[in-house]
Chain A
Amino acid sequence: MDIDPVLWSRLLTGLTLTFHVIFATVGVGVPLMIAIAEFVGIRKKDPHYILMAKRWTRGFVISVAVGVVTGTAIALQLALVWPNFMQLAGNVIALPLFMEVFAFFFEAIFLGIYLYTWNRFRNPYTHWLLTFPIVIGAGMSAFFITSVNGFMNQPEGFVMEAGHFVAVNPIAAMLNTASPSKVFHVLTSAYLTGAALLAGIAAYTIVKKGASPYYKKSLNLMMVVVLVFSFLTVIAGDVSAKFLAEHQPEKLAAAEWHFETESGADLILLGWLTDEQEVRGAIRIPKALSFLAFADFNAEVIGLEEFPPDEQPPLVVHYLFDMMVIFGFVMFGVALLYFLFLFWKKRNELNKWLLRAIVICTPLAFLAVELGWFYAEVGRQPWIIRGYMRVEEAATSSPNVVPLFFFFLLLYIVLGTLCVIVLRRLFRNNPAEAELESYMKEMQDQAIEKGEPS
């Protein structure tokens, strides 16, 4: 069999990124939740919330470790697997890559301090302030790295001359037209996923072991965040779609199976394609695509026919796109329902079915993030730098990527399994209620030690 290094390079990078994105999303989303919980706890003088922040941090650190490891892997793999790409594009995107490392550095330093200084400051707000650099550092990392991806989709800030980038403007490349909508979407969905994860854990525990004050508070707090950020994510998705319609019409057209340029274009949900590229079994919403793309029911939307066949993205992205959008709306709906039940006294918000729905939202959130990235990346094919460099020109020529793919697959399986085992061991044998008790006792002892009345 003839091996194709380009295909395997894509698989290897896809594998690493798919695995990394899980931990990267947790890495961006969860610090904000920790900061919120600690703040509420200090403000209300409620040890439940402080304990929440503590427990989440402990679990968070483990996922950060895996995130660091896979992040290092992807940083190195960029050059190892795509040497030609880095040689060319390095001239233009080095700045955000470099600054991403700074942001990460910053976050790493303060995460270390935060972890080891829980009881070292007199004023509890001092320790809480340490979450700022962590949240900001994580957000900035996401911003910089997403702007690199934005550049690959919407290359700007240079002039191409004889196969080389000249007249490079690093700032313009970083703040390309694709960056704002992408960063907005990435951040809102990361916060949504972080909150959905923690809400899901609380809901799961309540289903299994019954409601306790700790988990009720945790669920309530996180559902507020889920509601806010699922709404913002929907907005961000809309902004992104409008961006695509204007600047990357082939990607939107592929996602919507919109083949002919027309005004008043229909929105196609799900369905399948025949060999003659006819859409069957789909739900058609008249003129909705035009409205979503340009906020005008009769606007003209460019179809896929306008692009040469070898520059069209694969049509499978339609499903990725649809599933991502559906999952997003499901999460928004579940959050709305939760608060409807909460304020409408006749219904119990801790209804088993609703709790189960909240539990299911956790994998849905992660799936939606993965699907969204798959759509963004597969929808850019065949380009690595859209309009300038094709994927096959960028990959390494070494056939060694084939064994390496399996090597890394094994590594990620081991890492993922270990991560799950450690997290389970960490929380299973140490339920929140027991920890709360020992925590209260410790606080009391400290108060007595300091000679303060408890």
Chain B
Amino acid sequence: MMSYELIGITVLWLFLYGYLIVASVDFGAGFFAFYARSTKQDHLINRLISRYLSPVWEITNVFFVFFFVGIVGFFPDTAYYYGSALLIPGSIAIVLLAIRGSFYAFENYGSKESTVYLFLYGATGLLIPASLSVALTLSEGGFIVEQNGVVSLEYLTLFTSPLSWSIVALAIVSVLYISATFLTFYASRADDQPALKLMRTYALFWSTPTIIAALTAFIYLSQHNERHFQNMMDLWWLLALSVGFFMLSMWLLYNGRRYGWAFICVMLQFFCAFFAYGIGHYPYILDPYITIQSGATHESMGIALVIAFIGGLCLLVPSLILVFKLFLFDADYVKGNK
């Protein structure tokens, strides 16, 4: 049987992946909405975006809190190290999330359309992934130092490291790529030709930077953390699969049919890459301070969390399916008839 800490990290990694996908759609949509407004094409896609995103933005946010609470629960040491080091970047992320959350409420349910707010919505869409990706960079080690029981973040090292910037770049372009493919698919469901055309252009455009940024980050990783890089090389087949799915989604998008499959391919592409990255990181959560075994909570708590998790999923999965049925796969709703 798998040990509970391994189950824990697997589950959390799955949730982080889930957040990566749903949040990317959300964050990218903000940028596209703003970009479309500044190029006077907003009438094409704004309705599409608000139609899908309004019912689900809270769910997206919960994914994040879920991962966060989960990792502190399963691995309390992460609270100590990451908590101490991330006081400032974490607080910035909170503020950005706050601006974004208020956008949904105020813009969609209350205020008139304001360009300032739309700008903030677009800007946070790019800044949040950037600020959150800092945590991934930190996990590679070398940025957090513990001296005399005081944990601190080496800002200078962080800001001058090509690795951290390449991860930020990767986070931003993948957000745009994932989001554009999803919105292309959603536009095709809504049978909204102008929006479809626009989003397809965006999706095709952002595919190239995505793959370039992924390669760059990979190269800098090899220089920064030899062990992690070697582990990922041993998982070469997962990375190859990821590239394969990427090519497939490109081909589907280019041919302009089966956008649903194109989005699934994008999801699989990121799934393979994300898990190759995660498995390669094993056994460290924070190199070299926390490993999965040393940082895990007590067994009784770990088991209780796993049970709570299974129980929670029994509630969540049917509810999520209901949401998707009502807002994603209900053709009438998508087309705006309901």
Whole-angstrom distance from the CB of B123 to the nearest CB of chain A? 16
For window 36-92 of A, CB contacts with B under 8 Å fall at 58, 61-62, 64-66, 68-73, 75-84, 86-92
Q: How far is the CA of A343 from the CA of B319 in the complex (A)?
A: 45
CB <8 Å contact, A62 and B79 = no
Q: How large is the interface on A (under 10, 10 to 19, 20 to 34, 35 or more residues)?
A: 35 or more
| Neighbouring B residues of A400 by C-beta, 8 Å | 87-88
Does B219 sit at the interface, judged by CB under 8 A?
Answer: no
**Known pairs A92-B301, A109-B323, A407-B91; A66 contacts B102 (CB<8 A):** yes
Does A357 sit at the interface, judged by CB under 8 A?
Answer: no
CB <8 Å contact, A104 and B62 = yes
Does A330 sit at the interface, judged by CB under 8 A?
Answer: no
Q: How far is the CA of A79 from the CA of B65 in the complex (A)?
A: 12
Whole-angstrom distance from the CB of A27 to the nearest CB of chain B? 12
Chain A CB count within 10 A is highest, among B298, B308, B319, for B298
Residues 290-312 of chain B, each 1 if its beta carbon lies under 8 Å from chain A, else 0: 00000001101100110011001
| Neighbouring B residues of A82 by C-beta, 8 Å | 83
**Known pairs A83-B84, A116-B326; A170 contacts B304 (CB<8 A):** yes
CB <8 Å contact, A62 and B110 = yes
**Known pairs A102-B316, A422-B109; A90 contacts B87 (CB<8 A):** no
Whole-angstrom distance from the CB of B8 to the nearest CB of chain A? 10
CB <8 Å contact, B300 and A112 = no
| Neighbouring A residues of B298 by C-beta, 8 Å | 91, 165-166, 168
| Neighbouring A residues of B151 by C-beta, 8 Å | 83
| Neighbouring B residues of A86 by C-beta, 8 Å | 72, 76, 79-80, 83
Interface-facing stretch out of B50-58, B165-173, B192-200, B255-263: B50-58
Does B233 sit at the interface, judged by CB under 8 A?
Answer: no
Does A270 sit at the interface, judged by CB under 8 A?
Answer: no
Chain A residue nearest to B330 (CB atoms) is A120
Q: How far is the CA of A79 from the CA of B83 in the complex (A)?
A: 5
CB <8 Å contact, B338 and A120 = yes
CB <8 Å contact, B102 and A397 = no
Does A443 sit at the interface, judged by CB under 8 A?
Answer: no
| Neighbouring A residues of B66 by C-beta, 8 Å | 101-102, 105
For window 74-111 of B, CB contacts with A under 8 Å fall at 74, 76-84, 86-88, 90-91, 93-95, 97-98, 101-102, 104-106, 109-111
Q: How far is the CA of A65 from the CA of B54 in the complex (A)?
A: 12
Q: How far is the CA of A100 from the CA of B106 in the complex (A)?
A: 26
CB <8 Å contact, B312 and A76 = no
Tally inter-chain residue pairs, CB-CB below 8 A.
Answer: 215
| Neighbouring A residues of B64 by C-beta, 8 Å | 72
Whole-angstrom distance from the CB of B47 to the nearest CB of chain A? 14
| Neighbouring B residues of A81 by C-beta, 8 Å | 83, 87
CB <8 Å contact, B319 and A109 = yes
| Neighbouring B residues of A119 by C-beta, 8 Å | 338
Whole-angstrom distance from the CB of A245 to the nearest CB of chain B? 32
Chain B residue nearest to A61 (CB atoms) is B109
Does A408 sit at the interface, judged by CB under 8 A?
Answer: yes
> B79 is contacted by which of A64, A79, A108, A408 (Cβ under 8 Å)?
A79
Does A426 sit at the interface, judged by CB under 8 A?
Answer: yes
Q: How far is the CA of A79 from the CA of B69 in the complex (A)?
A: 9
> B109 is contacted by which of A58, A70, A79, A95 (Cβ under 8 Å)?
A58
Does A273 sit at the interface, judged by CB under 8 A?
Answer: no
Whole-angstrom distance from the CB of B297 to the nearest CB of chain A? 5
CB <8 Å contact, A68 and B58 = yes
Q: How far is the CA of A65 from the CA of B21 in the complex (A)?
A: 22
| Neighbouring B residues of A166 by C-beta, 8 Å | 298
**Known pairs A75-B65, A99-B308; A69 contacts B106 (CB<8 A):** no
CB <8 Å contact, A401 and B87 = yes
Q: How far is the CA of A110 from the CA of B327 in the complex (A)?
A: 12
Q: How far is the CA of A117 from the CA of B322 in the complex (A)?
A: 12
CB <8 Å contact, B300 and A94 = no
Does B209 sit at the interface, judged by CB under 8 A?
Answer: no
Q: How far is the CA of A72 from the CA of B305 in the complex (A)?
A: 20
Does A221 sit at the interface, judged by CB under 8 A?
Answer: no
Whole-angstrom distance from the CB of A229 to the nearest CB of chain B? 27
CB <8 Å contact, B72 and A79 = yes
**Known pairs A65-B104, A72-B65, A99-B308; A112 contacts B323 (CB<8 A):** yes
Q: How far is the CA of A404 from the CA of B86 in the complex (A)?
A: 12
| Neighbouring B residues of A109 by C-beta, 8 Å | 59, 316, 319-320, 322-323
> B73 is contacted by which of A73, A94, A116 (Cβ under 8 Å)?
A94
Does A97 sit at the interface, judged by CB under 8 A?
Answer: yes
**Known pairs A62-B106, A422-B106; A87 contacts B70 (CB<8 A):** no
Chain A residue nearest to B327 (CB atoms) is A116
Chain A residue nearest to B100 (CB atoms) is A69
A interface with B by C-beta (< 8 Å): 58, 61-62, 64-66, 68-73, 75-84, 86-92, 94-95, 97-102, 104-106, 108-113, 115-117, 119-120, 133, 165-166, 168-171, 396-398, 400-401, 404, 407-408, 411, 415, 418-419, 421-423, 425-426
Q: List 30 A-B contacts (CB under 8 A).
A: A61-B105, A61-B109, A62-B105, A62-B106, A66-B102, A69-B97, A71-B65, A75-B69, A79-B82, A80-B90, A82-B83, A83-B81, A83-B151, A88-B76, A91-B298, A95-B308, A98-B73, A101-B62, A101-B66, A104-B65, A110-B319, A111-B58, A112-B56, A116-B54, A133-B319, A396-B84, A404-B91, A407-B91, A408-B95, A422-B110
What 5 pairs between A and B have smallest CB-CB spacing? Answer: A94-B73, A65-B105, A90-B76, A86-B79, A422-B110
Given A98-B69, A101-B69, A426-B109, 7 additional A-B pairs, CB 8 A: A64-B58, A68-B61, A101-B62, A101-B66, A116-B54, A165-B298, A419-B106
